[in-house]
Amino acid sequence: MKLHNFNSGPSILPQPVLEEAARAIINFNDTGLSILEIGHRTDWFQEVLNEAVTSVKQLMQLDDAYEVLFLHGGATTQFMQVPMNLLDDGETAAYCDNGIWGNKAAKEAALFGNVQVVADSSDKKHTYIQKEFNIPGNAKYLHLTSNNTVEGTQWHSYPETSVPLVADMSSDIFSRPADFKKFALIYAGAQKNMGAAGVNLVVIRKDVLGKVLRKIPTIMNYQKHIDAGSLMNTPPVFAVYVSMLTLRWIIAQGGLAEMAERNEAKSSLFYHTLDSLPLFTGTVAKEDRSQMNAVFFLKNPALEVPFLDLCKKEGMIGVKGYRTVGGVRVSMYNALPLASVQAFCDLMKQFSSKNS
C-alpha cells in the first residue's frame, strides 16, 4: 500500500534528499566516513555549511546586509532569543496573536520588555488573520507568524510597517517567493519545508543588532554566532546537511516560483474538493486559508472517528487535527506530490458518497 505523508512536522522530505542523506550516513562524499562522524570544523562540513548559507541567500535574494545562521533549539528557542537580542528592559514590542505559536512568542517576549498585542484573532478561535491594526510608534519591532500550522491560517501579504518586521516562518519557509528584504529577522524550524528536525534557520539584518544594553549570554547572542559562522559550538551536523540537500533540491526544481506553482495547485485542488462536499466544513476564512496546513471538520462529529480510521486504512498518515483544535488537518508542504492530495480528495468523495 502506498503511504501518503500529511504529517505537520517533522514532515515529508523529497525522495532524492532521503536517498542522498541515506548514502551519506554510510559514506559521505566518498570520504569513507559517515556524515555522522565528520568533524564540524573540517573542510568537509564547512563546504556543506557554505552551500546552505549561499542557497538561503539565493532563494531569498538577500545581499550582504543579512547574515544566515543555522542554530540549535528550534523556533521555540527564538521566542526568547529574539527579544533577548532586540528588546531592552522597558522597551515595547508589538506582537500579532494569530494562533498558538504567536501567543507563546508574545508570552516569552514579555519576560524581556513590554509586549503590546496589536492583532488578536482569538475572538473567532484564530480562524482568520487580523490585517488592520495600529503599531505603537515606539515599538522596537513587529512580530508575526507567517503560517499558523495548528489553526490553518496564513498571511498572504505582509503588513507595511515603519518598525523592523520579525517573522516566524517555520511552516511556510521556501514555499513561495516574497520580498524577504521587508524583514529584519526571520526564523524557521527546519522540519517542515527545509529539512530534518534539529536545526533552526535564522536570517538577520545586521543593523538591528547591538542596540540593547542588557548582557546577553554568549550562546544566545546573535552577533557571537555571526562572528563564529554558526560554529560557536558543535552544530547539528546531520540536520544542517539535510537542510543543505533540501535547499539544493528546491533550487534544482526551479526555486520558489516553482514551489509556489505546485503549492497553489495542491491547495486549490484540496479546497475546491472541501467546498464541494457538504459532509465536510472548513472554519478558516477563505481569504486566509493556508496553502500548507488545511484544517477542517466533519459536520457530523460522530463521523470523525470513522473518517480518520478510513484514512489510516488507506495510508493517509498524520491527518488527525492538533490536540487543542481537533478535526482533520492535511499538511501540503513542498515535497508532497499532487498525487497524494488527489488521493486524499478521492477518499473524501468516497466517504461523502457513503455517508451523505
Strand 185-189 to 4-5 pairing: unpaired
Q: 175 with 157: CB under 8 angstroms?
A: no
- The size of the chain, in residues, is 356
pLDDT at residue 47 in the model: 98
Overall average pLDDT of the 4-8 stretch = 98
Tell me the residue type at 269.
Answer: L
pLDDT of 31 reads 96
Annotation says 168 is catalytic: yes
Lowest-pLDDT choice from 91-95, 257-261, 321-325: 321-325
pLDDT in tens, 258-274: 999 999 999 999 999 99
Q: Where do the domains of the chain lie, and which CATH numbers do they carry?
A: 15-253 (3.40.640.10), 255-355 (3.90.1150.10)
Catalytic residue from among 140, 155, 172, 192: 192
Mean pLDDT, residues 87-109 taken together = 97
**pTM for the model:** 0.97
Average pLDDT over the chain reads 97
Out of 97, 101, 249, 266, which one is annotated catalytic? 101
The whole-number pLDDT of residue 64 equals: 97
If one counts every other C-beta atom within 10 angstroms of the C-beta of residue 209, the result is 17
Segment 312-321 shows an average pLDDT of 97
* The three cell numbers locating residue 219: 550562546
CA–CA distance, 350 with 84 (Å, rounded to integer)? 52
Cβ–Cβ < 8 Å for 72, 228: no
| C-alpha–C-alpha distance, residues 291 and 214, integer Å | 40
Q: Is the pLDDT of residue 356 over 90?
A: no
pLDDT digits (tens, 9 = 90+) for 158-194: 999 999 999 999 999 999 999 999 999 999 999 999 9
Per DSSP (E only), the strands in the chain are 4-5, 66-71, 92-97, 114-120, 139-145, 147-148, 153-154, 165-168, 185-189, 200-205, 280-281, 293-298, 316-317, 328-331
**pLDDT tens, 111-167?**
999 999 999 999 999 999 999 999 999 999 999 999 999 999 999 999 999 999 999
DSSP SS3 for 320: strand
The arithmetic mean of pLDDT across residues 62-78, rounded, is 96
pLDDT digits (tens, 9 = 90+) for 284-312: 999 999 999 999 999 999 999 999 999 99
* 44 labelled catalytic: no
Through-space distance between the first and last CA atoms of the chain, rounded to whole angstroms: 27
Checking if the pLDDT of 1 tops 90, the result is: no
182 noted as active-site residue? no
**CA separation for the pair 24, 238 (Å, rounded):** 9
pLDDT per position as a tens digit, 205-254: 999 999 999 999 999 999 999 999 999 999 999 999 999 999 999 999 99
Q: Taking the CA atoms of 43, 44, 49 and 52 in sequence, report the sign of the dihedral they define.
A: positive
* CB within 8 Å of 157: residues ≥ 6 apart: none
Interhelix angle 100-109/74-86, rounded to 10 degrees, is 40
DSSP 289: B
Check 140, 155, 168, 249 and give the catalytic one: 168
Give the pLDDT confidence score for residue 101 in this predicted structure: 97
Q: Cell digits for 306?
A: 470513522
